[in-house]
Amino acid sequence: MNGVTGRMGTNQHLMRSIVEIIKQGGVKLPDGRTIMPEVVLVGRNRDKLKKLSDLSGIPAYTTDLKEVLDDKKFDIYFDAQTTGRREIAVKEAIEKGKHIYCEKPSATNVKAAIELYTLAKKAGVKNGVVMDKLWLPGLLKVKALVEQGFFGEILSVRGEFGYWVFEGFSVPAQRPSWNYRKEEDGGIILDMLCHWRYVLDNLFGKVRAVSCYGATHIKERVDENGNIYKSTADDAAYASFQLENGIVAQFNSSWCTRVRRQDLLTIQVDGTSGSAVAGLRDCFIQHYNATPKPVWNPDIPQPIDFYENWTKIPDQQHFDNAFKAEWELFLKHVYADEPFSWNLLEGAKGVQLAQLGYESWEKRSWIEVPELK
């Protein structure tokens, strides 16, 4: 596991996924066998690795990636490094015959992302990309509604994502400074359009065209060492998408917005028979028969409470951590040959959409999304 000393790598992939899988006694297979991960932590800072080892209870760690790639007892290479370091390391792991599981974006550009998929396919190694939002309870509930036909004909999807990331002058920033440096592969378009690609493709319909406008709203920030730096990457993205079935989708992604909504991410789906608004965990629905009939009149106080006629979908099952759920599926894919469709080609599609988003911003125009194979 390379690059797990970062916040998400530590919290989601190591502590809440792999450590929890070990604690539960591994991943059980239908034939009675059990997959039990044996892990070595890899990074560039030995002190950070030692602390992470103590925290996780995983004793093995090293700063020598080549050494562990040469070790035949390790079958899977996982990468959660910063995006710019991922391509070279994944290539090296493929050359050593390791199965690949990595964070997204899988590369900094679509050409490199497709090359990783091609190399993995040629080498015959199994591969996957983290697409965690597909296993969020809120989106699993939306998926069930789609499958049940609740919406009727789906007309539109609207996503609001983000929160205020402090600049660091008076309040410390809560995200790493590289996210706001273009030269270090930062930028919310590259980060978030990869997410919206797999959410839209898997839940609503294939993305066929994109119109995106980016912005760098906050011009200066303070880094981890207290130094002021110029923000060179986009910190907000305003994107529209045309899907293959006529659905229109819009997603606002911003590190420069204050939240007054259900959650840090909300997705509203509107259809002819009903609508839903999902957050990370909860989902509220409004059927056609429960839809109020407002009349525009700005001269009186609004008589309708627009929150009132929505019904919260109850939790009818246990929802595991989204990252852990996908980890278990990937482990079953590697060791029991169970299906796993979220591979490096799907990861390349996310990078493609981000790259086309930047092209759309530059040209101020809609851009068609060609199919990747």
Q: How many domains does the chain have?
A: 2
Q: What is the pLDDT of residues 281-327, one digit of tens each?
A: 999 999 999 999 999 999 999 999 999 999 999 998 999 999 999 99
At 42, give phi and psi (nearest 5°): -125, 140
Tell me whether residue 359 is in a domain: yes
**What does the alpha-carbon distance between residue 200 and residue 357 come to, in Å, rounded to a whole number?**
15
Tell me whether residue 77 is in a domain: yes
Tell me whether residue 310 is in a domain: yes
Domain that includes residue 289, residue range: 133-318+351-363
Q: Answer yes or no: do 329 and 280 share one domain.
A: no
Q: Answer yes or no: do 100 and 155 share one domain.
A: no
Q: Answer yes or no: do 297 and 330 share one domain.
A: no
Tell me whether residue 140 is in a domain: yes
Question: From edge to edge, which strands make up the β-sheet containing 76-79?
Answer: 76-79, 99-102, 127-129
Q: How confident is the model at residue 117 (pLDDT cuts 50, 70, 90)?
A: very high
Q: Answer yes or no: do 21 and 137 share one domain.
A: no
Tell me whether residue 370 is in a domain: no
Peptide bond into 314 cis (omega under 30): no
Give a three-class secondary structure readout of 51-120: HHHHHHCCCCEECCHHHHHCCCCCCEEEECCCHHHHHHHHHHHHHCCCEEEECCCCCCCHHHHHHHHHHH
Q: What is the pLDDT of residues 231-241, one digit of tens each?
A: 999 999 999 99
CATH number at residue 154: 3.30.360.10
Q: Answer yes or no: do 143 and 273 share one domain.
A: yes
Asked if 92 and 116 touch (Cβ cutoff 8 Å), the reply is: no
Q: Answer yes or no: do 88 and 210 share one domain.
A: no
Tell me whether residue 2 is in a domain: no
Tell me whether residue 205 is in a domain: yes
Q: Answer yes or no: do 114 and 187 share one domain.
A: no
pTM attached to this predicted model = 0.94
